[in-house]
Amino acid sequence: CEKICDGDVTLTSQAEVDAFNCTKVTGNLTVTGADITSLFGLSSLREVYGHLRIENVNATNLDGLLLLDSIGRALLVMNNPSLNVILGLSCSVQEGIEISYNSNLLLISGFNSIKKLFWLGIQNNPKLTSVAGFDSVEIIQTATPSPFAPTGIGISNNGALITIPDFQMLSRVGQITITGNNQLPSLDGFSNVSRIEGVLTISDNSSLKVINAFENLVSIVGISRHIPRGGLMIENNPLLEGFPGLSSLKEIKSDQSADLSIINNASLKNIDGLSSLTTFFALHADKTLSIRNNAILENIDGLSSLVDVIQGEGDTYINITGNPMLTQCCGLQPLIDALSFSGTIPPSVHIDISQNGGGCTLDDILACGSQRILGFTLLNHQTKAVIQHFQNEMTIDLADPRFSHLMLQANTSPQQVGSVEFNFDGHIRRTENGFPYQFILPQFTPGIHTTRADVYSEHQLKGEKGISRVATFNVINSATVISFDVVNQARQILMTLHDGDKINIQDPAFKTFLFRANTVPDRVSKVELFLNNQLVAVERGFPYEVYGNRTPGDYTLEAIPYIKINVRGNEYVPGTSLKISFKVVSEDPGSTSQLVMNDQSNDESLLKVSESPGVTIFPVPVDSELYIKIDDAADEDPLITIRTIHGLTVYQDFYSKSQSINTL
């Protein structure tokens, strides 16, 4: 029959283990004690809700747990000096597994029922030769129940380890660390993993010759505050000759920092395994590429596809140092080109290429290969002021005054080439034969426009054609009418006009008024104003106003802003319009128990209003706060209007109870 042990249970002797007869433990179960040599007393156990910890016991195996069905949190097998094998466990584990510091452990096998874990750690088991099983694991998750818990897989410091699981079903995984396994000859498996969230570290494996694993790995990414770093670290593997398994890897990127590190691999001749890598990006922190102290490394052509390295908020560090046999570094030229917008390295990029073989310096790299277009610079062709450096794409806002009189400069490598041809939208062409290579752009219309720049080794588009680049412009017009004001002839604002508002032409302030359209930006080329869908004004200068006096009735007011795009012609592009409805009424202003206080009010500290029985205002004159007292004698909610001596309404509202008005 089922027996439940509530809460945490700790067994510290063989006698306590033998007496154990629970089928379930609702808390943690800890088994610890040097005189414990057998776990068969746990054979009744089917479920542990919390952690199951086997620590400092002298059992040679875990066979007493073969009928265990599930562990609610983690399985921890640590510091068990007599443990030889872990075989056949088929229980599910909800969080993680740690098997560490078991000095005589030789073999781990089983765990084939587990499909999901948060973490797996197999560490510091000096005699462990083989780890098998885990055949059904699909996810070793990247986010853990605790921010302090480990993530992913760690197989470290198992000095005799020869084989690790293939993890053939594993598709999603956090960081992977395989380090300090000195007898591991090759790394295989992980064939279903396409994305690693965190850092892939393969280091200090002194017998590792080849990395065949991760054949379908495409992305290594750092995401969110839990996994802020993304990177690939291949370090201190003295016999490593290559990593063909990484040939599908295309991107290393992170919300925070990113690293690509190939350091101190004494038998590595090339890095061709990275030939598909195109993207290396960090958004909010630094990114670092280090290829250092690889004794026989001959070339780094494997990085020749790495061109997507757009700067984030941090700096970029490129360190290629201490590789004495490295004499050809042209594989880095696309990367260096991608980091320079106008032929020069920006201050945020720090490059150290030194102590390598002859022919591998920054100057050597800049002189490599075909002539090419590095990127573009957008300038004002009248002032020659730089507007923006870019490589492939940028947005141009016709409403932004910076984007007028535009000229495009193609930045080349080397700086002086034979000639450059510009091709705008496939139908306007221009050839430039001397530095700087510049093209005055035609006037843009909204939409997508492209300019292709082709480079040639000789004048007039002759000789060898180099590497081209296309500039893509997304052209928009952000000019917008954002609001309407009603103003008097002195251009003072009487009110902001909203949809559904009323204008009372018997109010003295509205004896004569105008409608004003407010735009962003403040000044546009022109504004068309419509009343009741009829064009009534075309205003070409700020402010954009139209005479407003109208007879009572229902009205619509619409304004459309325009930006002129052809200086010599008459071509305009409309922006975002605004249309509202309002009423013009003719009503007696005093008919609503109106209190009028203007700059000529007397100096009494209290002012009773005869037109509004039960209403008192104070103090008069007012400083920063005007108080309104409403007695029971007030028949209805009075409308309080505050005007200047000139009749300008500065405040108006209805009140149903005594309160104050802040007049500042």
DSSP-assigned letters across all residues of 248-269: T--EEEESSEEEEEEE--TT--
**Which regions in the chain score pLDDT beneath 50?**
143-149, 591-605, 609-611, 645-647
Pair of tokens at residue 265: 């691999």
Are the CB atoms for 96 and 150 separated by under 8 Å? yes
The secondary structure of residue 568, as a DSSP letter, is S
Cβ contacts of 160 within 8 Å, gap of 6 or more: 126, 127, 128, 129, 182, 183
Burial of 579 (0-12, 13-18, 19+ CB in 10 A): middle
Q: What is the dihedral of CA 313, 314, 315, 320, to 10 degrees?
A: -120
In sequence order, the β-bridge partners of residue 116 are 139
Are the CB atoms for 242 and 211 separated by under 8 Å? yes
Cβ contacts of 613 within 8 Å, gap of 6 or more: 633, 634, 635
Scanning the structure block, which residue is given the tokens 């991760």?
A: 214
Quick one: which of 117, 516, 338, 166 has its CA closest to 99?
A: 117
The secondary structure of residue 526, as a DSSP letter, is E
Please report the pLDDT score of residue 613 as a whole number.
58
Quick one: which of 132, 122, 32 has its CA closest to 89?
A: 132
Are the CB atoms for 564 and 572 separated by under 8 Å? yes
Residue 48: CB atoms within 10 Å: 29
Are the CB atoms for 42 and 26 separated by under 8 Å? no
SS3 content of the chain, % helix, strand, coil (to 5): 5, 40, 50
The one-letter amino acid code at 541 reads: G
Pair of tokens at residue 149: 């818990």
Scanning the structure block, which residue is given the tokens 């009741």?
A: 532
Cβ contacts of 448 within 8 Å, gap of 6 or more: 472, 473, 474, 475
Residue 466: CB atoms within 10 Å: 20
Strand ranges for 112-250 from DSSP E: 116-117, 119-123, 130-131, 139-140, 152-156, 172-173, 176-179, 186-187, 195-197, 199-203, 210-211, 219-222, 229-235
As a whole number of angstroms, the distance between CA 530 and CA 10 comes to 84
**H and E: helices and strands count for the chain:** 3, 58
* Alpha carbons within 13 A on the beta-carbon side of 303: 27
Q: Three-state secondary structure along 440-473? A: ECCCCCCEEEEEEEEEEEEHHHEEEECECEEEEE
Strand 447-458 versus strand 462-465 pairing type: antiparallel
Pair of tokens at residue 407: 């000229």
Q: What is the pLDDT of residues 607-648, one digit of tens each?
A: 554 445 566 676 766 666 777 777 665 556 666 666 554 445
The one-letter amino acid code at 49 reads: Y
CA–CA distances in Å: residue 151 to residues 161, 174, 220: 22, 6, 15
Residue 604: CB atoms within 10 Å: 12
Q: Is 41 left (phi over 0), alpha (psi -120 to 50) or beta?
A: alpha
Please report the pLDDT score of residue 644 as a whole number.
54
Sign of CA dihedral 413, 415, 416, 421: positive
Residue 16, phi then psi, degrees to nearest 5: -70, -35
Q: What angle do CA 511, 512, 518 make, to 5 degrees?
A: 130
Residue 147: CB atoms within 10 Å: 8
Residue 418: CB atoms within 10 Å: 20
Are the CB atoms for 109 and 122 separated by under 8 Å? no
Are the CB atoms for 36 and 60 separated by under 8 Å? no
As a whole number of angstroms, the distance between CA 617 and CA 608 comes to 7
Are the CB atoms for 320 and 326 separated by under 8 Å? yes
Element (H, E) at 53: strand 52-55
As a whole number of angstroms, the distance between CA 275 and CA 92 comes to 40
